[in-house]
Structure 1
Amino acid sequence: MSSKHFFSDPTHLVLSALRSLTLTNPSLAFDEEQKVIFRRPETTNRSNVAVISGGGSGHEPAFAGYVGKGFLTASVAGTIFASPSAEQISRAAIDCVDTDKGVLIIPMNYTGDVLHFGMAVEKTKAAGRKAEFFAIGDDVGVGRSKGGKVGRRGLAGGILVLKIASALAETGASLEDVHRIAQFTNANTVTLGSSLEHVHVPGRDVSSEFVPDDEVEVGMGIHNEPGSHRMKSFSLPSLVKTMLLQLLDHNDPDRAWLIREPGDKFVLLINNLGSVSTLELSGITAEVSLQLARDYDIRPVRTLQGTYLTSLNGLGFSISLLRLADTGLGPGKSLLELLDTPTEAVGWAAPIHKSTWEKHASDGPVELKKADLAHDLPSNLKVDPAILKKSLSAGLRRLIDAEPKITKYDTIVGDGDCGVGLKRGAEAVLKVVEGNDINDDVAITAHKIVGAVEATMDGTSGAIYAIFLNALVHGLRAQDTAGSPIPVDAKIWGQALKSAVTALAKYTPAQVGDRTLVDALVPFCDTLSKTADVHAAAKAAQEGTEATKHLKASLGRTVYVGSEEEWLGKVPDPGAYGLSEFLSGLADSL
């Protein structure tokens, strides 16, 4: 791999690259603090759904290069190969777009992106704006058995999904239809990449991992993740034959995501991962087209070739196929018509109209107007602040006292930081609870607790708690319908908790039985919603935690840390144990 770059500071590089988009497309604006590229308000229609994507930098022109008329409304960038934060994304959805129809937030399917973009969806909904979420996954390099609950990775075929969903949004379609067509397009898209070498991130040490000169990695991901296998002493025809078989073989139960029928029409996308010459990429397109026609009787109605989603300077390419199934939306809204709709997004290689250049020649920076957020507004949901303070304090202190035991458990089955992370979050919430900010408005109080969790708890568990608590606030406010004070009882809490569990399930595959904190959380929420008995609910959480001692892990570090003989039947999941201690302390105080 080449470790030579013109930029040595990756932060400066990302900001410079984003800033350049306002130079090549004058209809765009840049929020440098949040790393958001967005369309100027006068170029958008409030009666259209806003479509927001984004992800780690290093995949240019994805995703900021697809912001523009006819395509994305905004894009949020993280550092190189790292997801942007939920705060960045929610600011984009609340402050940078103006819509009465709602927002579709649509990243690629990578764990960090799913959690942070998912958290932003819940924050957006809690702020009073309608929002939907979908994570694009079109890869066939990792099969079903290996991908498991995580699912397919998002690759270059996802750009077709973004283009079609965005074009539909421009027609004034509903959020429900835009969301559905994004999922529908994804279900009819498959992608596979191959690369001759790993890539080097500016500012990092050179990796010791290399792909030997006579090998190619089939299915390599866009962050140097390994693929399905390596081919030795390969030729381009043999490589393309292998790739097309993985993409189109109906008899491969591990990868047969796309089932062809006679007469099906396709769009072909040949994508440069960043460092293949245009000459070679053109030769690859010719070889792929030849084999599709000869071996599969597929003659694409559109062939797109270029640099759509990269892995920095990746020495590889990917093949994407989109089956043009019927959307059911009628004339003008077929997948092909939506794909063909003109756009001014520079990453789609379409020219910017002369009128756009003239209209925005003298425009200055856009002054952002802070939106009125629903979570700042009073609610009619009332609690006794003394009881709330007493019960939360009891649960939080019990969790803090349990830190040594949680840390001990996590040292055996994880990386030892679970107890410290939970304690840090509990101490931050306790500071809020025992301060002067608690009042009888449970929605306002709950939002302050969410802020403390988001500010102090990092990692996967922090994201999970933040998503859950944001959804809990939304679930509480959804029951504020009387127009007069409503005493918040166990029934209201149960309904809000149930809706929060449903929301959380959109962003994590963890279920009861996977040996995670969900084994304590779901039994508590389910029991409280059914019985309105907090003591019975806390007992259900304890029983769920105890059951984790006998479960094999399917998610988290426990999957590959330590030997099962050390902990199976002896050690509960640390996250479930910590949560159960908090819930037990809360219940015992009532």
Structure 2
Amino acid sequence: MPQTKHFFSDPTHLVQTALNSLTLTNPSLAFDPQNKIIFRRPDVVKKGKVAIISGGGSGHEPAFAGFVGQGLLDASAAGTIFASPSAEQIRIAAMERVNNDQGLFIIPMNYTGDVLNFGMAAEKARAAGIKTEFFAINDDVGVGKKKGGKVGRRGIGGGILILKIVGALAEAGGSLEDVYKTAQLANDNLISVGSSLEHVHVPGREPSDDSVPEGEIEVGMGIHNEPGSHRVKATLVELIETMLLQMLDHNDPDRAFVTRKPGDKFALLINNLGGVSTLELSGITDEVYRQLDQSYQIKPERIVQGTFLTSLNGLGFSISLLKLADNGLGPGKSFLELLDAPAEAVGWAAPISTSTWGHLDSPPVELKQVKASEQPPSNIKLDIATIKKVLSAALERVIKAEPQITRYDTIVGDGDCGIGLKRGAEAVLALFNNPSANLTDDVVNTVNRVVTVVENTMDGTSGAIYAIFLNALVHGLREQDTDSETPANVDIWGAALKYSLTALGKYTPAQPGDRTMIDALVPFTQTLVDKRDVQAAAQAAEEGTEATKHMKASLGRTVYVGGEEEWVGKVPDPGAYGLSEFFNGLASAL
């Protein structure tokens, strides 16, 4: 059974106090308690550097807030225990708590909630004109390529090496492009796997029977109790042999993520999942080093041992190897030099300087407030009466279709798709029917107002997807802005929609044929671009939706719903159907 005894019974209070403690142990930091953001005090950050933003669920301490500081992150947003922070928390961190003049690099771990919410914030920043790049760390080989599928590898302990590298590069004045490419290169050369003797228990929750049987070890367990590749009864020596084989066996096509040849150099990270004593962790490091030398002729250039990314008090550890590839940035900026660069963050166990302690009694930072809907004006114009007429027709059609969407989703999903779409449609209609909203013919600002409404009224995965797409649409429209007035014609909308599709592809693996709303969205966009005809595009979306009746779902809750014989050939994907109804409403008004 997992250890269920804790000093704190209120997880909300626990997270808040843990975050606040970082401002006591590192006085260069400030805390925004309302949004659970730890960020570097503006008066200690040198001008002209790329801002690095990360974060994730609480329970992984010292990640991620513990890596905020000089030479590492500029800010971190925290969720509740094992849950992603919201997109709004991340947006505030990225747009209001750091200096993003030189660009913004948003780098979470590869988990669906984190990718969607951090991705939404990235698109929000881009839509506001901030130069932004996004990358989700994925280093876990415990889940092979076949099982990982479109989602890919999970992000675990080795990702801390990437945060250290990009943080040091940004501190040294690296450009946003160099920081982004370096993160990708490091990830391509990074492999990790973890093992644990037991699942963990979250403070404040009822105990469960979910546990690892006595005498067994879960190889590849994730950092939220996710299952690994298998369970074994093994000695430590046998366990590490298995883990290193998963990481370094070139003959395993399912896990050969990093190639290796004689002369390649590596850095080794041994990470404590939270509940292993330092004594045992040191013994584990010694055994890993011995086997790497004897079995693989690898003598790591750097050996880092400690507690970096945990699973609460998880009774396990992870091993990470980073191949020290040439990043082409020249002297002082190699992977090894960036790992060795000084960092002043408690999670990296770096010493805090005397000058930094001088900030202990500094007055609190005045928190800047920026309205999410604020946007610089654009010259892309469309008569507001026309916008209202066309969108109203489309939104009213979605509202009318809600019972049918709900019926479909009750059969193949969890029954909330129709209500969510209706709620969003009604809220946007209310915006257009509100005389005090002061909507104008500035298309970029008007669409951005719609985005804010969608973000505040539609939740869940579909809400996040719509918000990401619409934020990207704002950016796609703004990219076509010129110094003179430009009518928002079908070419402008087509180019913007095409950009939005590309942006959405960064945060969801869904493609046509996966039985999702993408099966309506892609045909509509492609047909609009190719034929410049809204009616033809709506027809293409309807045909794409109809085709989903015969598709096997590969994403979303439908994957887990049985009884396919009851609905295959009869029930379309509810999200695609709702979107198709929206497009048909648009076409009917033109």
1:390, distance to aligned residue in structure 2 (A): 1.1
* Cα displacement (A) at 1:543: 0.8
Q: How far did residue 375 of structure 1 move?
A: 4.1
Are 1:271 and 2:262 matched, yes or no? no
Q: Please list every run of 5 or more consecutive structure 1 residues that lacks an aligned counterpart in the other structure.
A: none
* Structure 1 contact 53–75 (Cα < 8 Å) conserved: yes
Is contact 1:412–1:562 with CA below 8 Å preserved after alignment? no
Q: Give the TM-score, by structure 2 length.
A: 0.98
| Counterpart position of 1:419 | 418
1:165-204 mapped onto 2 (5 Å cutoff)? 165-204=166-205
Aligned twin of 1:404: 403
Question: For 1:531 and 1:384, how far apart are their aligned partners in 2?
Answer: 23
> What does 1:146-161 align with in structure 2 at a 5 Å threshold?
146-161=147-162
Q: Is the contact made by 1:292 and 1:298 (CA closer than 8 Å) also made in structure 2?
A: yes
Alpha-carbon offset, residue 484 of structure 1? 2.8
Cα pair 1:128 1:373 within 8 Å, conserved: no
Q: Is the 8 A contact 1:121 1:132 kept in 2?
A: yes
Alignment of 1:219-230 (within 5 A): 219-230=220-231
SS at match of 2:120: helix
- The Cα offsets for residues 40-97 of structure 1, whole Å up to 9 and x where unpaired, read as 1122123111111000000000000000011111111010000001111011111111
Give me the whole-angstrom Cα distance separating, in 2, the residues matched to 1:229 and 1:27.
44
TM-score (norm 1): 0.98
- State the match for 1:124 in structure 2: 125
Provide the secondary structure at the position in 2 that maps to 1:281: helix
Tell me what 2:459 maps to: 458
Q: Is the 8 A contact 1:125 1:131 kept in 2?
A: yes
SS at match of 2:174: coil
Q: Which SS does the other structure have where 1:443 is aligned?
A: helix
Show the counterpart of 1:447. 448
SS in 2 for 1:521: helix
What's the secondary structure of 1:45's corresponding residue? coil
**Equivalence for 2:115:** 114
1:99 corresponds to: 100
Q: Letter of the aligned partner of 1:430 in structure 2?
A: L
Per the alignment, residue 250 of structure 1 pairs with 250
Paired amino acid for 2:301: V
Letter in 2 for 1:382: K
Alpha-carbon distance between aligned partners in 1 of 2:131 and 2:390, rounded to the nearest angstrom = 33
Cα deviation, residue 372, structure 1 = 8.5
1:319 paired residue number: 319
The answer to which of 484-493 and 81-90 deviates more is 484-493
State the 1:526 CA deviation: 1.3
Q: How does 1:299-314 map to 2 (within 5 A)?
A: 299-314=299-314
Task: Show the counterpart of 1:34.
Answer: 35
Alignment of 1:540 with 2:540, yes or no, is: yes
Distance (whole Å) between structure 1 residues aligned to residue 374 and residue 132 of structure 2? 15
| Aligned residues of 1:51 and 1:103 also touching (Cα < 8 A) | yes
Deviation per residue, 1:331-388 (Å, 9 max, x gap): 1111000000011111001110112213x14311111334587843222121111111
Cα RMSD after superposing both structures: 1.1
How many residues were matched structurally?
Answer: 587
Q: Distance in 2 between the 1:355 and 1:377 partners?
A: 39
Q: Which residue type is aligned with residue 362 of structure 2?
A: D
Residues in 1 aligned to 2:211 and 2:368: alpha-carbon distance in whole angstroms? 49
Write out per-residue CA displacement over residues 469-526 of structure 1, whole angstroms, 9 at most, x where no aligned residue: 0110111111111x23222111111111111111111000001111100000111111
What displacement does 1:208 show?
1.3
**Counterpart for residue 589 of structure 1:** 589
Which residue of structure 1 aligns with residue 492 of structure 2? Answer: 492
CA contact (8 A) 1:28 1:37 kept: yes
The 1:372–1:79 alpha-carbon spacing in structure 2 relative to 1, beyond 3 Å, is closer
Output the CA distance in 1 between the equivalents of 2:440 and 2:324. Answer: 56
| Residue 378 of structure 2: aligned partner | 379
Partner AA of 2:376 in structure 1? L
> How far 1:179 sits from its partner (Å)?
0.3
Aligned-partner SS, 2:281: helix
- Distance, in Å, in 2 between the alignment partners of 1:526 and 1:434 is 31
Q: Which residue of 2 aligns with 1:163?
A: 164
2:502: which partner in 1? 502
> Deviation digits for residues 246-290 of structure 1, max 9, x if unmatched?
010000000000110101111111110000011111111111111
Q: Distance in 1 between matches of 2:120 and 2:187?
A: 22
Matches of 2:331 and 2:40 in 1, distance apart?
A: 28
Q: Partners in 2 of 1:376 and 1:281 — Cα distance?
A: 51
Q: What code does the residue aligned with 2:31 have?
A: F
Task: Please state how far the C-alpha of 1:100 moved relative to its aligned partner.
Answer: 2.1
Q: Give per-residue Cα distances to partners, 1:5-47, cap 9 Å, x unaligned.
A: 1111111100000000000001001111111111111221231
Tell me if 1:395 matches 2:394. Answer: yes
Tell me if the contact between 2:373 and 2:452 (Cα under 8 Å) persists in the aligned partners. Answer: no
Please list the CA deviations of residues 222-243 of structure 1 after superposition, one character each: whole Å capped at 9, or x if unmatched. 00000000002x1100101000
State the distance in 2 between where 1:370 and 1:455 align. 18
Query: Which secondary structure does the structure 2 equivalent of 1:207 belong to?
Result: coil
Report deviation, 1:398. Answer: 0.7
In the aligned structure 2, how far is the partner of 1:221 from the partner of 1:405?
39
SS in structure 2 at match of 1:402: helix
Aligned residue for 1:580? 580
CA distance in 2, matches of 1:236, 1:60: 25
- C-alpha contact (below 8 Å) 2:373/2:449 kept by paired residues: no
Q: Deviations over 1:117-140 (max 9, x none)?
A: 000001111122111000000000
Q: State how far apart, in whole Å, the 2-side matches of 1:273 and 1:372 are.
A: 39
State the partner residue of 2:232. 231
Runs in 1 of length 4+ with deviation above 6 angstroms? none
Matches of 1:59 and 1:33 in 2, distance apart?
20
Q: 3-state SS of the aligned residue for 2:269?
A: strand
The code of the aligned residue for 1:299 comes to: K
Inter-CA distance 571–274: structure 2 relative to 1 (3 Å threshold): same
Q: Report deviation, 1:424.
A: 1.0
Residue 403 of structure 1 contacts residue 420 of structure 1 at CA under 8 Å; is this kept in 2?
yes
Q: Which runs of 5+ in 2 are unaligned?
A: none
Where 1:530 maps in the other structure, the secondary structure is helix
Name which of structure 1's ranges 317-326 and 371-380 shifts more when overlaid on structure 2: 371-380
> Are positions 1:280 and 2:288 aligned together?
no
CA distance in 1, matches of 2:271, 2:375: 45
Q: Equivalent residue for 2:549?
A: 549
- Given residue 283 of structure 1, which amino acid in structure 2 is its aligned partner? G
- 1:141–1:220 CA contact under 8 A, matched in 2: yes
Rounded Cα–Cα distance in structure 2 between residues aligned with 1:262 and 1:376:
54
**Equivalent residue letter for 2:424:** G
Q: Which residue of 2 aligns with 1:336?
A: 336
In structure 2, distance between residues paired with 1:99 and 1:472: 22
What SS class does the counterpart of residue 270 from structure 1 fall into?
strand
Once structures 1 and 2 are overlaid, which stretch shifts more, 104-113 or 483-492?
A: 483-492
Identity %: 70
Name the CA distance, whole Å, in 2 between partners of 1:346 and 1:283.
24
Equivalents in 1 of 2:339, 2:286: separation in Å? 22
What is the letter of the counterpart of residue 419 of structure 2? Answer: V
1:476-491 matches, within 5 Å, as: 476-481=477-482, 483-491=483-491
Q: Secondary structure at the match of 2:78?
A: strand
- Partner-residue secondary structure (3-state), 1:76: strand
Query: Is residue 274–residue 310 contact of structure 2 (8 Å, CA) maintained in 1?
Result: yes
C-alpha distance in structure 1 between counterparts of 2:442 and 2:269, whole Å: 53
Equivalent residue number for residue 348 of structure 2: 348
Q: Is the 8 A contact 1:393 1:434 kept in 2?
A: no
- Corresponding residue of 1:9: 10
Indicate if the aligned counterparts of 2:372 and 2:452 stay in contact, CA closer than 8 A.
no
1:562 partner amino acid = G
Q: Contact 1:45/1:99 (CA < 8 Å) preserved in 2?
A: no
Report if the CA contact (8 A) 1:141-1:227 is conserved: yes
Give the drift of 1:587.
0.6
* Alpha-carbon separation, structure 2, partners of 1:361 and 1:541: 59
